[in-house]
Structure formats: structure tokens, C-alpha cells
Homo-oligomer: A and B are copies of this chain.
């Protein structure tokens, strides 16, 4: 398993009139978690796109347990429980400052050749970075 943690401050822009973070805005928080998880491997999603691979989202599942509020510093834990092949499943857990779980989700992204828009395998450069975290015991 590969796991990475970041912190995100809730913007006023992201709240709604209920006083909660709008349910659709967590998708961007999850994205930031994934981006930094990849960066921490010594690679970036930006570099991935530069090699001609894009990663559109194929699935999103979120369970919302508690709301996040304006100005909270959220803890975003992103993990890969399996080594990706043609797709990558990122698990995300969001916690508030008191350590309470706010929501948990799974985002499935697929590797796609930007030119042909056809599915492809995870590029070797990324596989090499991730493989050590998924070695058989």
C-alpha cells in the first residue's frame, strides 16, 4: 500500500448556504490529495501529461458522514491499496481538526493516451516508483 497525507484549508468559495462545504467540491480536495501523493513519489501528474498520458476519472464514490466547515484545516489521506495497471483506484479519507472522519471515497482513474484517447497501461516511469510499495512479502 502507498499512502500520503496533506492538509487543505476550506475556502469560503467552497461552502454553500447550508454552511457546509458543497458536496461536489470534495472532488477537488481528493484531486489535490492524489496530486501530492504522486509528487511525493518524485514524479508529477503534470509530467505524466507531458508524456502524452492523461488520467480521466472513471468512477467516484463518496460517503459523507459529517460536514466540513469554512476555514477548517482538513487532513486528506490518499492511498493506493493495489498497484495500478490500466486504472488506478485512489482511496481518500478526510478528517477535520478534531480527527473526526468527515467523508471517505474512492476515485477510479484510467490511463489514456492523450493522442488516441484509448486506454493504456500505467507508464513504466510511474510503475517503477510505485512497485516497491506493493512488493509481495
Name A's B-contacting residues (CB within 8 A).
9, 11-20, 22-28, 31-32, 35, 44-46, 54, 56-64, 67, 70-71, 107
Instruction: Report B-chain residues with C-beta under 8 Å of the C-beta of A63.
Output: 58-59
Question: Is the beta-carbon distance between B54 and A58 smaller than 8 angstroms?
Answer: no
Question: Is the beta-carbon distance between A24 and B32 smaller than 8 angstroms?
Answer: no
Instruction: Report B-chain residues with C-beta under 8 Å of the C-beta of A27.
Output: 13, 22-24, 27
Cross-chain pairs A/B with CB under 8 angstroms, 17 sampled: A11-B31, A12-B17, A13-B27, A15-B17, A16-B16, A18-B56, A20-B56, A23-B57, A23-B60, A23-B107, A24-B24, A24-B26, A44-B71, A46-B71, A58-B63, A59-B62, A59-B64
Question: Is the beta-carbon distance between A71 and B45 smaller than 8 angstroms?
Answer: yes
Closest CB in chain B relative to A9 CB, distance in Å: 7
